Amino acid sequence: MKIQVITLFPEMFEGVLGSSMLWKAQDKKLVEYKLINLRDFGLGPRKIVDDTPYGGGDGMLLKPEPLVAAIEAAKSSVVGNKSSVILMTPRGKKYTQAKAREFAKLENLILICGRYEGYDERITKFVDEQISIGDYVLTGGELPAMILLDSVTRLVPGVLGGDTSAEKESFSDGSSILEHPHYTRPEVFRGMKVPGVLLSGNHAAIETWRKQNSKKS
Ligand code: ADE
């Protein structure tokens, strides 16, 4: 899978892409990430990417020409046609685990991080989906894009090993299981005991307890 991110702040992604599971996913060649600097598509010698809104109002908007040029460059670099262009915006559809599973099946994702007060509405014609990570407004789409790419990457087959496989988490009805609580040593911590059944060695009873203490979402 290839995930391309169009952003004015590619350096924000360095820590996330260079750590832990996302780094391993790249190392194992299961996922390829590419950061596209929107500034490279800016207009004129000053590489302008934003402008004031028609009709007046506060703040600046992302101009359509650089964004659409960046989307077209991202699209032209992919093989296969199973791709989706996703705009991160608080006005989008609420992101869920079911959506993450849908995205994980695609060969190519192109994520667009909005900035400033917003973007020229005409860019939405070049976008397949608009996604919000929740009903709150961030300063840009970078953190939402990181959340999306983290949640999608862990669902790509082979990224998580063995028992922790993502399949275990999902039901055929599209809902998802939120795992039961976990405990490790010591058996008693500040007066709190590990549930006895987990120490019983009775695998059937442990499985029943785990099911009963899992949540469906
Ligand atoms: N950009 C700013 N806020 C956002 C949100 N809640 N979800 C997605 N993108 C955003």
Residue with tokens 């039901």: 171
The reported pLDDT for the residue numbered 115 is: 83
Q: How far, in Å, are 148, 172, 187 from residue 86 at the CA level?
A: 10, 25, 47
Same fold, 2-153 and 176-216: no
Question: Residue 87: pLDDT above 90?
Answer: yes
Nearest CA to ligand 1 atom 9: 89
Q: Which atom of ligand 1 is nearest to the CA of 136?
A: 6
For the chain, give the percent of residues with pLDDT over 90: 86
Distance 89 CA to ligand 1 centre (A): 4
Classify residue 53 as exposed, middle or buried by CB count within 10 Å of its CB (0-12, 13-18, 19+).
middle
pLDDT band at 116 (very low <50, low <70, confident <90, very high): confident
Task: Domain 176-216: state its class.
Answer: mainly alpha
Least confident stretch, 1-5, 42-46, 97-101, 172-176 = 172-176
- Looking at CATH, the fold of the domain delimited by 2-153 is given as Alpha/beta knot (3.40.1280)
Tens-place pLDDT, residues 20-29: 899 999 999 9
- Does ligand 1 lie within 6 Å of residue 137's CB atom? yes
Query: Is residue 124 within a helix (H) or strand (E), and if so which, with residue range?
Result: none
Mutational test site, ligand 1, from 5, 12, 89, max ligand atoms within 8 Å of CB:
89
Q: Kindly tell me if the per-residue pLDDT of 123 is higher than 90.
A: yes
Cα 101 to ligand 1 centroid, rounded to whole Å: 20
Nearest residue to 116 (alpha-carbon basis) of 90, 136, 134, 140: 140
Q: Cα of 211 to ligand 1 centre, how many Å?
A: 34
By the 8 A CB rule, do 84 and 128 touch?
Answer: yes
Query: Do the beta carbons of residue 200 and residue 206 sit within 8 Å?
Result: yes
Q: What is the pTM of this model?
A: 0.91
State if residue 112 touches ligand 1 by the CB under 6 angstroms criterion.
Answer: no
pLDDT mean over 150-155: 97
**88 CB under 6 A from ligand 1?**
yes
- Determine which residue's CA is closest to atom 6 belonging to ligand 1: 90
Q: Closest Cα partner for 77 from 109, 38, 42?
A: 109
Query: What are the boundaries of each domain within the chain?
Result: 2-153, 176-216
Alpha helix locations (H) across 44-173? 64-76, 97-104, 142-153
For the stretch 162-217, pLDDT in tens is 645 565 566 545 566 688 999 999 999 999 999 999 999 999 999 999 999 998 76
Atom of ligand 1 nearest to the CA of 88: 9
pLDDT of residue 167: 57
Mean pLDDT of the residues in the chain: 93
- Ligand 1: residue whose CA is nearest its atom 10: 89
